[in-house]
Structure 1
Amino acid sequence: MDPSVRHSRTATRSLPRSGSRLHRRRASRPDARAHPADQDEPDEPVDVSVVLPCFNEEQHVLAEIERTVATMETSGYSYEILAIDDASTDDTLKVLRSAEDRFPRLRVIAFATNGGTGTARRIGTQQARGDIVVWTDADMSYPNERIPELVSILEQDETVDQVVGARTSEQGSHRLLRVPAKWLIRKIAERLTNTRIPDLNSGLRAFRREVSLPYLRLLPAGFSCVTTITMAFLHNQHVIRYVPIPYAKRSGRSKFHFVKDAYRYILQVLRMVMYFNPLKVLMPPSLALLTLGSGKAVYDVVANPVRLASNTLLILLTGLIIASLALLADLIVRSRS
């Protein structure tokens, strides 16, 4: 079995499979590879929706759209590209509007105020017409020519709900700090989910739109939205496959802020685990405190009969409070629809 595949046989699947609809739609279009852009009316569903958040990308966003269009035109899939301008302060929106006239499959959504890449991806996914949604970036760093490969995995294997492009190198800014920080955060996520995660926050991924809809409200506004969608799928027994991809140095200026965004990544991982399995976070420190307090109580009784130190009581009470919170949080999670 491929070690990069996480299979779960215990999940009960009640949702219809979008991959089946995609396969049937493509089968009904024998000439899809000849004229993929002419197969669907503007308001009809398509196979693939590519969501492209854009913020101050005027120098290279057109090249990104051109190479994505060229890839999808030869893929055999009907598609659309949703370019979302996140209130850019340069001429990104002007470039996108000009490109919209050239490429009939391009839809531009303009934000009045900056909402963050997570907001852009959430709204893009909600407005997508495709059975499969692809997230990627507009900075030329991801190999968008691999998009059809990711989509084909979902089409061919209905047990897989998300395919992630796992980067084989780190080309971002602050590499000396980012590499160990991302490794630590990824190991925390693996520990809390009991799953091997080759790349926790890759920006290139394809997933079934209908499966993602219940989790879109959980997406934060910033970069940790990709971490969130990974954690949400894993906690709900949706199968994720990881495909190794190269990663290029981004064009333009990075919007990543090391201290602030690293903190947000850790916080979001813990938040997601608390949302789906709070016992994983709260019960270990509770049991540790109760064990320590019990041992300290035995020592106090032996050393000073019929007397417990105040710090012993505080340790025991703290452990009991955390355990109560863990059980209450777990009850809330299990009673949530």
Structure 2
Amino acid sequence: MSTETLISIIIPACNEEKAVGSTVKQIRDLSLANSEIIVVDDGSSDGTAREAKSAGATVMSHPYNIGNGAAVKSGIRSAHGRVLILLDGDGQHDPKDILMLLPHIAEYHMVVGARSHESETHLHRNLANRIYNLFASFIAQFKIQDLTSGFRIIRRADALRFCDMFPNGFSYPTTSTLAFLRSGRTVKYVPIKTRFRQGKSKIRLLRDGVEFFLIIVKIAMSFSPLRVFIPISSFLFFLGIARYIQTYLTVGQFTNMSHLLINSSVIVFMLGLIAEQIASMRLEKGDKLHEPEEVEKYSVFSRRETAES
């Protein structure tokens, strides 16, 4: 039987001693063949690392808190598996859902666990996520069902391709989703039910909500800039035309403001074209640095007992 590591489960955690041990044990109970569990302790001040290690995980520790995205990047770079499974260590994800998501990675570049309406989530978070999903779907021209889900399966070669683009904070799921879609990679959403997290959330709705929206715009500028520039350019252009008509009908002449608005619309559009070319060149350059990797068809029955029989 081959001892090559096929699956790496990466769990970023910060002060999650109440949930991380149970999460690791539930994953081990799945008995996935040729797999490893990596818990990245992002500068916890409690016993997160101790609980994860005693449950059977390999533990990496940051000397201080850097961010959820930084923990994910550390896990990706140290993983040995050809397929990476990312999930949170706060107990909101059911590890059994791995068996539901895993078979799809043979056909898609990324598989995401999309939180269903029956999931145990706060109402204001649910509403915010819907707004983010709509805006991101417009940017990506693809129906995004759960932009911020931290439960996803990615091929290691693709993860390394985009790893350096991931921010250090909580917005790495957003970046990875838009980066995959912009580069022509396929994404599959599978409905899952989540539970209320154990412990106190580190995300603040108002502060992090505004920051997160700005991050989405920034990511859109990085991957699909025309989706941002064209609406702005169109608004300025039609506003200039309306101003032309209004001043001509009222005073019988054209004003400098009309010229300024239309000229500004042209400048914004040209800047969008330049930004689009830069984004395309960056994606093409990255694709040349990472060769594609074939992934075998994973079955829900690919467990240790089956492999050893």
Match of 1:90 among 41, 46, 54: 46
Match of 1:286 among 233, 238, 243: 233
2:29 matched residue in structure 1? 70
Secondary structure of the corresponding residue to residue 130 of structure 1: coil
Closer/same/farther in 2, CA of residues 60 and 179 from structure 1, 3 Å limit = closer
1:226 matched residue in structure 2? 173
Partner Cα separation in structure 1 for residue 276 and residue 199 of structure 2:
45
- Amino acid corresponding to residue 114 of structure 2 in structure 1: A
2:84 matched residue in structure 1? 133
Identity %: 29
Closer/same/farther in 2, CA of residues 131 and 320 from structure 1, 3 Å limit = same
Q: Deviations over 1:285-335 (max 9, x none)?
A: 112211221232244345445x43343233224323322321221232233
Map 1:93-132; keep pairs closer than 5 Å: 93-99=49-55, 103=56, 106-132=57-83
Does residue 146 of the first structure (1) align with residue 93 of the second (2)?
no
Partner Cα separation in structure 2 for residue 92 and residue 332 of structure 1:
42
Q: Deviations over 1:19-77 (max 9, x none)?
A: xxxxxxxxxx3xxxxxxxxx52xxxx411100001110112221111111111x1x3x2
Partner Cα separation in structure 2 for residue 260 and residue 216 of structure 1:
26
Q: Deviations over 1:90-110 (max 9, x none)?
A: 1222333444xxx3xx21100
Secondary structure of the corresponding residue to residue 147 of structure 1: helix
Secondary structure of the corresponding residue to residue 11 of structure 2: strand
Counterpart contact for 2:240–2:261, Cα < 8 Å: yes
Q: Deviations over 1:241-265 (max 9, x none)?
A: 1111111111111112111222233
TM-score (structure 1 length as normaliser): 0.78
Partner Cα separation in structure 2 for residue 211 and residue 93 of structure 1:
28
Closer/same/farther in 2, CA of residues 319 and 114 from structure 1, 3 Å limit = same
Match of 1:185 among 122, 132, 149: 132
Map 1:1-337; keep pairs closer than 5 Å: 29=1, 40=3, 45-71=4-30, 73=31, 75=32, 77-99=33-55, 103=56, 106-155=57-106, 157=107, 160-169=108-117, 170-172=119-121, 175-305=122-252, 307-336=253-282, 337=285
Q: 1:209 deviation in Å? A: 1.0
Q: Deviations over 1:150-199 (max 9, x none)?
A: 222223x3xx1111111113434xx2322221111100111121211221
Secondary structure of the corresponding residue to residue 58 of structure 2: strand
Partner Cα separation in structure 1 for residue 260 and residue 224 of structure 2:
27
Structure 1 portions without partners, runs of 5+: 1-28, 30-38
Counterpart contact for 2:21–2:54, Cα < 8 Å: no
Q: 1:271 deviation in Å? A: 2.0
Counterpart contact for 2:110–2:155, Cα < 8 Å: yes
For these two proteins, the number of residue pairs brought into alignment is 282
RMSD in angstroms over aligned alpha carbons? 1.9
